[in-house]
Amino acid sequence: MDERISREELSKFKGLIGRVIETVNRKIIGKKRELELILATLFSEGHVLLEGVPGVAKTLMARTISKTLGLEFKRVQATPDMLPSDIIGVQIFDPRNNAFLFKKGPVFTNILFVDEINRAPPKTQAALLEAMQERQVTVEGVTYNLPRPFLVIATMNPVEVEGTFPLSEAQVDRFLSKIIIGYPSIEETVEILDRYDEIVDLSDVKPVMTRDDIIEMINSARRVYVDVNIKKYIAAIVEATRRHPMVKLGASPRGAIAIYLLSRSLALMDGRDYVIPDDVKKAVYPALIHRIILKSEARISGVTVTSIIQGILEKVEVP
Protein backbone atom coordinates (compact mmCIF):
# COMPACT_ATOMS: atom_id res chain seq x y z
CA MET A 1 0.00 0.00 0.00
CA ASP A 2 1.12 3.57 -0.68
CA GLU A 3 2.41 5.77 2.09
CA ARG A 4 -0.33 7.10 4.37
CA ILE A 5 -1.63 10.61 3.79
CA SER A 6 -0.05 13.17 6.11
CA ARG A 7 -2.05 15.15 8.66
CA GLU A 8 -1.10 18.35 6.84
CA GLU A 9 -2.57 17.03 3.60
CA LEU A 10 -5.75 15.84 5.33
CA SER A 11 -6.19 19.21 7.04
CA LYS A 12 -5.62 21.01 3.73
CA PHE A 13 -8.17 18.85 1.88
CA LYS A 14 -10.83 19.24 4.57
CA GLY A 15 -10.32 22.99 4.58
CA LEU A 16 -10.60 23.22 0.80
CA ILE A 17 -13.78 21.13 0.75
CA GLY A 18 -15.27 23.29 3.51
CA ARG A 19 -14.62 26.41 1.44
CA VAL A 20 -16.09 24.80 -1.69
CA ILE A 21 -19.27 23.79 0.12
CA GLU A 22 -19.57 27.20 1.78
CA THR A 23 -19.17 28.97 -1.58
CA VAL A 24 -21.62 26.77 -3.47
CA ASN A 25 -24.19 26.93 -0.67
CA ARG A 26 -24.39 30.69 -1.13
CA LYS A 27 -26.03 29.97 -4.49
CA ILE A 28 -27.60 26.55 -3.98
CA ILE A 29 -29.97 26.44 -1.02
CA GLY A 30 -30.39 23.26 1.02
CA LYS A 31 -28.45 20.80 -1.16
CA LYS A 32 -25.33 20.17 0.94
CA ARG A 33 -25.67 16.37 0.86
CA GLU A 34 -26.15 16.33 -2.91
CA LEU A 35 -23.16 18.64 -3.35
CA GLU A 36 -20.94 16.39 -1.23
CA LEU A 37 -21.91 13.36 -3.32
CA ILE A 38 -21.16 15.15 -6.60
CA LEU A 39 -17.73 16.15 -5.26
CA ALA A 40 -17.10 12.59 -4.04
CA THR A 41 -17.96 11.32 -7.53
CA LEU A 42 -15.48 13.78 -9.05
CA PHE A 43 -12.69 12.71 -6.69
CA SER A 44 -13.52 9.07 -7.49
CA GLU A 45 -13.14 9.87 -11.22
CA GLY A 46 -16.70 8.74 -11.90
CA HIS A 47 -19.73 10.39 -13.44
CA VAL A 48 -23.04 11.40 -11.92
CA LEU A 49 -26.64 11.11 -13.05
CA LEU A 50 -28.98 13.71 -11.57
CA GLU A 51 -32.69 12.94 -11.53
CA GLY A 52 -35.20 15.63 -10.75
CA VAL A 53 -38.07 17.62 -12.20
CA PRO A 54 -37.26 20.85 -14.08
CA GLY A 55 -36.56 23.89 -11.93
CA VAL A 56 -34.72 22.35 -8.97
CA ALA A 57 -31.39 24.04 -9.80
CA LYS A 58 -29.55 21.13 -11.44
CA THR A 59 -27.89 23.34 -14.07
CA LEU A 60 -27.16 26.13 -11.60
CA MET A 61 -25.55 23.62 -9.25
CA ALA A 62 -23.28 22.26 -12.00
CA ARG A 63 -22.25 25.75 -13.13
CA THR A 64 -21.57 26.92 -9.59
CA ILE A 65 -19.50 23.84 -8.79
CA SER A 66 -17.38 24.27 -11.91
CA LYS A 67 -16.68 27.95 -11.15
CA THR A 68 -15.87 27.19 -7.51
CA LEU A 69 -13.44 24.46 -8.55
CA GLY A 70 -11.88 26.60 -11.27
CA LEU A 71 -12.71 24.05 -13.97
CA GLU A 72 -13.86 24.46 -17.56
CA PHE A 73 -17.59 23.90 -17.98
CA LYS A 74 -19.64 23.12 -21.09
CA ARG A 75 -23.35 22.45 -21.39
CA VAL A 76 -25.11 20.31 -23.98
CA GLN A 77 -28.88 20.17 -24.44
CA ALA A 78 -29.79 16.69 -25.63
CA THR A 79 -32.33 16.51 -28.48
CA PRO A 80 -33.79 13.65 -30.53
CA ASP A 81 -31.81 14.72 -33.64
CA MET A 82 -28.46 15.02 -31.85
CA LEU A 83 -25.54 13.24 -33.56
CA PRO A 84 -22.44 11.76 -31.89
CA SER A 85 -20.36 14.42 -33.64
CA ASP A 86 -22.34 17.12 -31.81
CA ILE A 87 -20.67 15.93 -28.62
CA ILE A 88 -17.37 14.38 -29.72
CA GLY A 89 -16.42 16.66 -32.61
CA VAL A 90 -16.09 16.45 -36.37
CA GLN A 91 -13.46 16.33 -39.11
CA ILE A 92 -13.45 19.51 -41.24
CA PHE A 93 -11.60 19.85 -44.54
CA ASP A 94 -9.10 22.72 -44.58
CA PRO A 95 -8.55 23.80 -48.23
CA ARG A 96 -5.49 25.86 -47.29
CA ASN A 97 -3.61 22.80 -46.10
CA ASN A 98 -5.51 20.33 -48.27
CA ALA A 99 -6.12 18.19 -45.19
CA PHE A 100 -8.81 17.34 -42.67
CA LEU A 101 -8.68 18.99 -39.24
CA PHE A 102 -10.43 17.72 -36.15
CA LYS A 103 -12.71 20.30 -34.53
CA LYS A 104 -13.13 19.20 -30.93
CA GLY A 105 -16.65 18.93 -29.53
CA PRO A 106 -17.92 19.97 -26.09
CA VAL A 107 -16.78 16.64 -24.56
CA PHE A 108 -13.28 18.14 -24.40
CA THR A 109 -13.78 19.92 -21.09
CA ASN A 110 -13.49 19.27 -17.35
CA ILE A 111 -17.19 19.27 -16.47
CA LEU A 112 -19.66 18.35 -19.21
CA PHE A 113 -23.29 18.99 -18.30
CA VAL A 114 -25.67 16.96 -20.48
CA ASP A 115 -29.22 18.12 -19.91
CA GLU A 116 -31.94 15.49 -20.41
CA ILE A 117 -29.57 12.80 -21.67
CA ASN A 118 -32.51 10.49 -22.35
CA ARG A 119 -33.65 12.82 -25.15
CA ALA A 120 -30.54 11.95 -27.15
CA PRO A 121 -30.87 8.95 -29.52
CA PRO A 122 -29.19 5.67 -28.48
CA LYS A 123 -26.25 6.10 -30.89
CA THR A 124 -25.37 9.47 -29.37
CA GLN A 125 -25.85 8.15 -25.83
CA ALA A 126 -23.48 5.30 -26.64
CA ALA A 127 -20.84 7.67 -28.04
CA LEU A 128 -20.95 9.80 -24.90
CA LEU A 129 -20.83 6.83 -22.56
CA GLU A 130 -17.85 5.41 -24.47
CA ALA A 131 -16.01 8.68 -23.86
CA MET A 132 -16.97 8.49 -20.18
CA GLN A 133 -15.65 4.97 -19.83
CA GLU A 134 -12.46 5.22 -21.90
CA ARG A 135 -11.78 8.94 -21.25
CA GLN A 136 -10.81 9.26 -24.87
CA VAL A 137 -12.47 9.47 -28.28
CA THR A 138 -11.37 8.01 -31.59
CA VAL A 139 -12.20 9.79 -34.83
CA GLU A 140 -11.07 8.44 -38.21
CA GLY A 141 -8.58 6.16 -36.49
CA VAL A 142 -6.99 8.91 -34.41
CA THR A 143 -7.36 8.78 -30.62
CA TYR A 144 -7.74 11.98 -28.60
CA ASN A 145 -7.41 11.91 -24.81
CA LEU A 146 -9.90 13.85 -22.72
CA PRO A 147 -8.66 16.34 -20.11
CA ARG A 148 -8.24 15.40 -16.47
CA PRO A 149 -10.30 15.77 -14.39
CA PHE A 150 -13.28 14.85 -16.53
CA LEU A 151 -16.75 14.68 -15.00
CA VAL A 152 -20.03 14.16 -16.83
CA ILE A 153 -23.11 15.43 -15.01
CA ALA A 154 -26.17 14.17 -16.87
CA THR A 155 -29.78 14.90 -15.97
CA MET A 156 -32.99 12.98 -16.45
CA ASN A 157 -36.56 14.14 -15.99
CA PRO A 158 -38.39 11.37 -14.06
CA VAL A 159 -41.81 12.46 -15.34
CA GLU A 160 -41.65 13.06 -19.09
CA VAL A 161 -41.36 10.03 -21.38
CA GLU A 162 -42.64 11.50 -24.67
CA GLY A 163 -39.82 12.07 -27.14
CA THR A 164 -37.25 10.28 -25.00
CA PHE A 165 -34.92 7.31 -25.49
CA PRO A 166 -34.58 5.66 -22.09
CA LEU A 167 -31.06 4.64 -21.13
CA SER A 168 -30.51 0.91 -20.98
CA GLU A 169 -29.61 -0.66 -17.66
CA ALA A 170 -26.07 -1.25 -18.94
CA GLN A 171 -25.72 2.44 -19.81
CA VAL A 172 -27.15 3.67 -16.52
CA ASP A 173 -24.73 1.33 -14.73
CA ARG A 174 -21.82 3.33 -16.21
CA PHE A 175 -22.66 6.24 -13.93
CA LEU A 176 -20.79 5.86 -10.67
CA SER A 177 -23.59 7.59 -8.76
CA LYS A 178 -27.18 8.67 -9.17
CA ILE A 179 -28.47 11.54 -7.08
CA ILE A 180 -32.13 12.47 -6.67
CA ILE A 181 -32.66 16.25 -6.57
CA GLY A 182 -35.90 16.87 -4.71
CA TYR A 183 -38.03 19.90 -4.04
CA PRO A 184 -36.82 22.44 -1.47
CA SER A 185 -38.67 22.86 1.82
CA ILE A 186 -41.00 25.81 2.45
CA GLU A 187 -38.25 27.61 4.41
CA GLU A 188 -35.71 26.95 1.64
CA THR A 189 -38.14 28.18 -1.02
CA VAL A 190 -38.66 31.42 0.92
CA GLU A 191 -34.89 31.89 1.14
CA ILE A 192 -34.58 31.28 -2.61
CA LEU A 193 -37.16 33.98 -3.26
CA ASP A 194 -35.49 36.40 -0.86
CA ARG A 195 -32.09 35.94 -2.48
CA TYR A 196 -33.08 35.19 -6.08
CA ASP A 197 -31.21 38.06 -7.75
CA GLU A 198 -28.07 37.22 -5.76
CA ILE A 199 -28.35 33.49 -6.43
CA VAL A 200 -28.60 33.65 -10.23
CA ASP A 201 -25.66 36.05 -10.57
CA LEU A 202 -22.52 33.90 -10.63
CA SER A 203 -20.13 36.77 -11.37
CA ASP A 204 -19.07 36.89 -7.71
CA VAL A 205 -18.20 33.16 -7.54
CA LYS A 206 -14.43 32.81 -7.37
CA PRO A 207 -12.42 29.57 -7.55
CA VAL A 208 -11.35 28.22 -4.16
CA MET A 209 -9.53 25.18 -5.60
CA THR A 210 -7.18 24.70 -8.52
CA ARG A 211 -6.96 21.90 -11.05
CA ASP A 212 -3.78 20.74 -9.30
CA ASP A 213 -5.63 20.58 -5.96
CA ILE A 214 -8.31 18.41 -7.55
CA ILE A 215 -5.80 16.06 -9.17
CA GLU A 216 -4.01 15.81 -5.81
CA MET A 217 -7.28 14.85 -4.09
CA ILE A 218 -8.08 12.28 -6.79
CA ASN A 219 -4.68 10.67 -6.30
CA SER A 220 -4.91 10.86 -2.50
CA ALA A 221 -8.36 9.20 -2.48
CA ARG A 222 -6.67 6.07 -3.82
CA ARG A 223 -4.44 6.02 -0.73
CA VAL A 224 -7.33 6.07 1.75
CA TYR A 225 -7.20 2.90 3.86
CA VAL A 226 -10.15 0.50 3.70
CA ASP A 227 -10.07 -2.26 6.31
CA VAL A 228 -10.94 -5.79 5.25
CA ASN A 229 -14.01 -5.74 7.53
CA ILE A 230 -15.27 -2.63 5.72
CA LYS A 231 -14.79 -4.42 2.40
CA LYS A 232 -16.76 -7.40 3.74
CA TYR A 233 -19.47 -4.96 4.88
CA ILE A 234 -19.71 -3.54 1.35
CA ALA A 235 -19.82 -7.04 -0.14
CA ALA A 236 -22.57 -8.11 2.30
CA ILE A 237 -24.72 -5.11 1.38
CA VAL A 238 -24.37 -5.81 -2.33
CA GLU A 239 -25.07 -9.52 -1.83
CA ALA A 240 -28.22 -8.67 0.13
CA THR A 241 -29.60 -6.77 -2.88
CA ARG A 242 -29.37 -9.96 -4.93
CA ARG A 243 -31.22 -12.09 -2.37
CA HIS A 244 -34.08 -9.68 -1.66
CA PRO A 245 -37.44 -11.23 -2.60
CA MET A 246 -38.67 -8.06 -4.31
CA VAL A 247 -35.54 -7.56 -6.43
CA LYS A 248 -35.38 -8.90 -9.99
CA LEU A 249 -31.76 -7.91 -10.56
CA GLY A 250 -29.42 -6.93 -7.74
CA ALA A 251 -26.25 -4.87 -7.82
CA SER A 252 -23.29 -6.17 -9.81
CA PRO A 253 -19.64 -6.04 -8.69
CA ARG A 254 -19.55 -2.57 -10.25
CA GLY A 255 -22.02 -1.53 -7.55
CA ALA A 256 -19.62 -2.72 -4.85
CA ILE A 257 -16.79 -0.84 -6.56
CA ALA A 258 -18.91 2.32 -6.65
CA ILE A 259 -19.56 2.12 -2.88
CA TYR A 260 -15.86 1.48 -2.30
CA LEU A 261 -14.70 4.45 -4.39
CA LEU A 262 -17.29 6.89 -3.05
CA SER A 263 -16.64 5.94 0.58
CA ARG A 264 -12.91 6.57 0.13
CA SER A 265 -13.57 10.03 -1.31
CA LEU A 266 -16.10 10.86 1.42
CA ALA A 267 -13.57 9.88 4.07
CA LEU A 268 -10.91 12.10 2.49
CA MET A 269 -13.34 15.02 2.24
CA ASP A 270 -14.02 14.60 5.96
CA GLY A 271 -10.30 14.83 6.75
CA ARG A 272 -9.64 11.11 7.31
CA ASP A 273 -7.31 8.66 5.59
CA TYR A 274 -9.45 5.66 6.51
CA VAL A 275 -13.03 4.62 5.80
CA ILE A 276 -15.62 4.14 8.55
CA PRO A 277 -19.04 2.44 8.26
CA ASP A 278 -20.79 5.84 8.09
CA ASP A 279 -18.89 6.61 4.88
CA VAL A 280 -20.20 3.37 3.41
CA LYS A 281 -23.78 4.19 4.46
CA LYS A 282 -23.55 7.61 2.77
CA ALA A 283 -22.23 6.00 -0.41
CA VAL A 284 -24.75 3.15 -0.65
CA TYR A 285 -27.76 5.14 -1.87
CA PRO A 286 -26.10 7.01 -4.79
CA ALA A 287 -24.09 3.91 -5.71
CA LEU A 288 -26.97 1.41 -5.78
CA ILE A 289 -30.23 3.27 -6.38
CA HIS A 290 -29.86 2.97 -10.18
CA ARG A 291 -28.40 -0.54 -10.12
CA ILE A 292 -31.32 -2.42 -8.56
CA ILE A 293 -34.22 -3.57 -10.74
CA LEU A 294 -37.45 -4.42 -8.93
CA LYS A 295 -39.95 -7.14 -9.72
CA SER A 296 -43.34 -6.03 -10.99
CA GLU A 297 -45.03 -7.08 -7.74
CA ALA A 298 -42.76 -4.68 -5.83
CA ARG A 299 -44.18 -1.70 -7.70
CA ILE A 300 -47.71 -2.96 -7.13
CA SER A 301 -46.97 -3.31 -3.41
CA GLY A 302 -45.51 0.19 -3.22
CA VAL A 303 -42.01 -1.08 -2.45
CA THR A 304 -39.26 1.26 -3.67
CA VAL A 305 -35.52 0.83 -4.23
CA THR A 306 -34.92 3.37 -1.47
CA SER A 307 -36.96 1.39 1.05
CA ILE A 308 -35.15 -1.82 0.06
CA ILE A 309 -31.73 -0.22 0.56
CA GLN A 310 -32.85 1.19 3.89
CA GLY A 311 -34.03 -2.24 5.02
CA ILE A 312 -30.75 -3.84 3.94
CA LEU A 313 -28.70 -1.28 5.88
CA GLU A 314 -30.78 -2.00 8.98
CA LYS A 315 -30.23 -5.78 8.68
CA VAL A 316 -26.61 -6.10 7.57
CA GLU A 317 -24.30 -6.19 10.58
CA VAL A 318 -22.07 -3.12 10.91
CA PRO A 319 -18.39 -3.90 11.54
pLDDT tens column, 161-217: 555 677 777 778 889 999 999 899 999 999 999 999 989 888 888 999 999 999 999
pLDDT tens figures, 223-251: 999 999 999 999 999 999 999 888 888 88
CA separation, residue 211 to residues 43, 201, 216, 273 (Å):
12, 23, 9, 21
Query: What is the band of 1 on the pLDDT scale with cuts at 50, 70, 90?
Result: very low
Q: Of 27-41, 80-94, 181-195, 265-279, which gets the smallest average pLDDT?
A: 80-94
Q: Which domains does the chain have, with CATH numbers?
A: 27-223 (3.40.50.300), 224-319 (1.10.8.80)
- C-alpha–C-alpha distance, residues 240 and 251, integer Å: 9
Q: Identify the pLDDT of residue 164.
A: 67
Assess whether pLDDT exceeds 80 at residue 67.
yes
Please state the rounded mean pLDDT for residues 310-314: 93
3-state SS, 245-266, equals: CCEEECCCHHHHHHHHHHHHHH
Contact 199, 249 (CB under 8 A): no
Instruction: Tell me the whole-structure pTM to 2 decimals.
Output: 0.91
